[in-house]
């Protein structure tokens, strides 16, 4: 059994090597009083998906974790004079401009997920990460936490952070189904077609259809009944990340067909048929994806709590959400900031001591307060992101320290 060191103030295990888990490990590893181990189920670091957007709050968290240079080296931003644009909002059938959400000083700050993970992994001290370690069971006692892995190995530590995603194994320990029922992923009723397009190719295709080629490089959201399409640049604007959403609202509790995979390859013809009648820009975008993948989007119900003694859930394991406000990865980074600040505090030792579905409804002309009224939609979109972007995770740190009696 690999076990904690008695020479350190605290031994911490992190399960899950995605963006949130790695960011936390980097933050914790800067404290020489901590022993930090990160366990990843697969044989190397990897990220699924393509582009990811970060709002101002997420960028602040990246900076607080000491990862600003790594981020800036790969991050995209919208070219002037649209550098403050988060998204422009347009009508589905004619590309007509409706409004824009602005993030002054930040704009649409985006990266390719795999590139960002690769960049922050470089900051992990050697020996921190362990691969091929799929956690299957967890035990706790007064002396700490023991993780049991599929390969037969174990690890003993003082505290465990579950950053292991929406299908979290750690969540079953914190909230066992025998006691709390099924609190696992639930299908939202929304599918998302995904693809990447060469930016020059997309600009040319838009011009050929009579659309403004500027729409290829400035982040756009095309809104329509039960559907919407988003685009933004990644990889230094050489590629355009595309996600096209379609939602079934015919039942209040949709269920994914039995046996259907969460991610499947589909034909371009099927995707185009789902957006028949949409405007020239949308058609240029979708025709530029010859082999789309279709993702069944899941989230989690509100959990009754997020920790069990020395084991804590974070990131998607705790609050997996739909992507409609671009805040899932950002919230994982905020989790990492708060946990890093608390766990590196000298007072922390071995002694025991959102909304996403509603945003999608607005985009697809189904909002409870907005419906198909474009004036109300415009007003909603202009301020919808303020409560996310203006949030400061250091306020959470101060609140937590107050509750713990550390200040």
Bridge partners of 308, per DSSP, are: 311
Residue 139 has pLDDT above 80, yes or no: yes
User: In this predicted structure, what is the pLDDT of residue 293?
Assistant: 96
**Per-position b or e across 307-334, b if 16+ CB within 10 A of its CB:** ebebbbbbbbbbbbbbbbbbbbbbbbbb
243 touches 193 (CB < 8 A): yes
194 is an active site residue: yes
User: In this predicted structure, what is the pLDDT of residue 352?
Assistant: 57
Q: 153 or 398: which carries more pLDDT confidence?
A: 153
Q: 191 or 112: which carries more pLDDT confidence?
A: 191
Residue 7 has pLDDT above 90, yes or no: no
User: What is the CA 62 to chain-centroid distance, rounded?
Assistant: 14
Return the half-sphere exposure (C-beta side, CA atoms, 13 A cut-off) of residue 250. Answer: 3
Residues 243-264, mean pLDDT to the nearest whole number: 94
Q: Is the dihedral of CA 170, 175, 179, 185 positive or negative?
A: negative
298 touches 186 (CB < 8 A): yes
User: In this predicted structure, what is the pLDDT of residue 3?
Assistant: 60
Residues 181-210, mean pLDDT to the nearest whole number: 96
From the list 194, 308, 357, 376, the catalytic residue is 194
221 touches 89 (CB < 8 A): yes
Residue 109 has pLDDT above 80, yes or no: yes
163 touches 12 (CB < 8 A): no
Bridge partners of 268, per DSSP, are: none
Question: What is the pLDDT confidence band of residue 364, given thresholds at 50, 70 and 90?
Answer: confident
CA distance 18 to 332: 10
Q: Mean pLDDT: which of 110-124, 198-212, 336-350 is highest? A: 198-212
Question: Mean pLDDT over all residues of the chain?
Answer: 90
Q: Is 277 helix (H, G, I), strand (E, B) or coil?
A: coil
Residues 194-214, mean pLDDT to the nearest whole number: 96
Residue 358 has pLDDT above 80, yes or no: no
Domain 10-80+108-183+301-354+390-404 is classified in which CATH homologous superfamily? FAD/NAD(P)-binding domain (3.50.50.60)
Residue 370 has pLDDT above 70, yes or no: yes
Question: What is the pLDDT confidence band of residue 387, given thresholds at 50, 70 and 90?
Answer: low
Residue 354 has pLDDT above 80, yes or no: no
Name the residue ranges covered by the structural domains of the chain: 10-80+108-183+301-354+390-404
- At 395, phi and psi to the nearest 5? -65, -40
The mean-pLDDT minimum among 34-43, 156-165, 374-383 falls in 374-383
User: In this predicted structure, what is the pLDDT of residue 353?
Assistant: 56
Q: Mean pLDDT: which of 187-196, 233-242, 350-359, 397-406 is highest? A: 187-196
Residue 407 has pLDDT above 80, yes or no: no
Name which of 361, 100, 107 is nearest 220 in CA terms.
100
Percent of the chain topping pLDDT 90: 67
pLDDT digits (tens, 9 = 90+) for 57-75: 888 999 999 999 999 999 9
User: In this predicted structure, what is the pLDDT of residue 180?
Assistant: 96
Token pair for residue 134?
């799929």
């Amino acid at each position: 059994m690999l076990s904690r060191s008695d020479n350190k103030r605290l031994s911490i295990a992190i399960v899950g090597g995605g963006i949130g888990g790695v960011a936390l490990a980097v933050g914790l590893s800067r404290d020489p009083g901590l022993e930090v181990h990160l366990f990843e189920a697969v044989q190397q670091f990897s990220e699924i998906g393509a582009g990811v957007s970060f709002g101002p709050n997420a960028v602040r968290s990246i900076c607080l974790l000491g990862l600003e240079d790594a981020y800036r080296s790969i991050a995209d931003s919208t070219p002037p004079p649209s550098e403050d644009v988060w998204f422009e909002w347009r009508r589905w059938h004619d590309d007509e401009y409706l409004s824009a959400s602005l993030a002054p000083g930040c704009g649409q700050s985006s990266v390719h997920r795999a590139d960002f993970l690769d960049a922050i992994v470089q900051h992990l001290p050697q020996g921190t990460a362990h691969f091929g370690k799929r956690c299957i069971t967890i035990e706790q006692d007064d002396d700490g936490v023991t993780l049991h892995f599929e390969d037969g190995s174990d690890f003993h530590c003082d505290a465990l952070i579950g950053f292991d995603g929406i299908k979290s194994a750690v969540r079953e320990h914190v909230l066992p189904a025998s006691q709390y029922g099924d609190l696992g992923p639930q299908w939202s009723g929304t599918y998302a077609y995904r693809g990447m397009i060469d930016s020059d190719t997309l600009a040319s295709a838009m011009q050929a259809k009579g659309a403004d080629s500027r729409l290829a490089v400035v982040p756009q959201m095309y809104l329509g009944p039960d559907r919407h399409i988003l685009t933004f640049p990644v990889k230094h604007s050489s590629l355009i990340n595309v996600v096209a959403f379609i939602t079934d609202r015919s039942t209040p509790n949709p269920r994914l067909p039995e046996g259907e995979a969460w991610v499947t390859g589909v034909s371009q013809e099927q995707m185009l048929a789902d957006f028949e009648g949409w405007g020239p820009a949308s058609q240029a975008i979708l025709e530029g994806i010859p082999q789309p993948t279709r993702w069944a989007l899941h989230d989690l119900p509100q959990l009754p709590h997020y920790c069990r003694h020395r084991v804590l859930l974070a990131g998607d394991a705790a609050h997996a959400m739909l992507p409609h406000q671009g805040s899932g990865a950002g919230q994982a980074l905020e989790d990492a900031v708060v946990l890093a600040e608390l766990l590196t505090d000298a007072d922390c030792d071995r002694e025991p001591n959102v909304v996403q579905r509603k945003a999608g409804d607005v985009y697809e002309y189904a909002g409870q307060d907005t419906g198909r009224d474009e004036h109300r939609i415009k007003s909603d979109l202009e301020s919808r992101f303020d409560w996310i972007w203006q949030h400061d995770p250091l306020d959470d740190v101060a609140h937590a320290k107050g509750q713990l009696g550390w200040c």
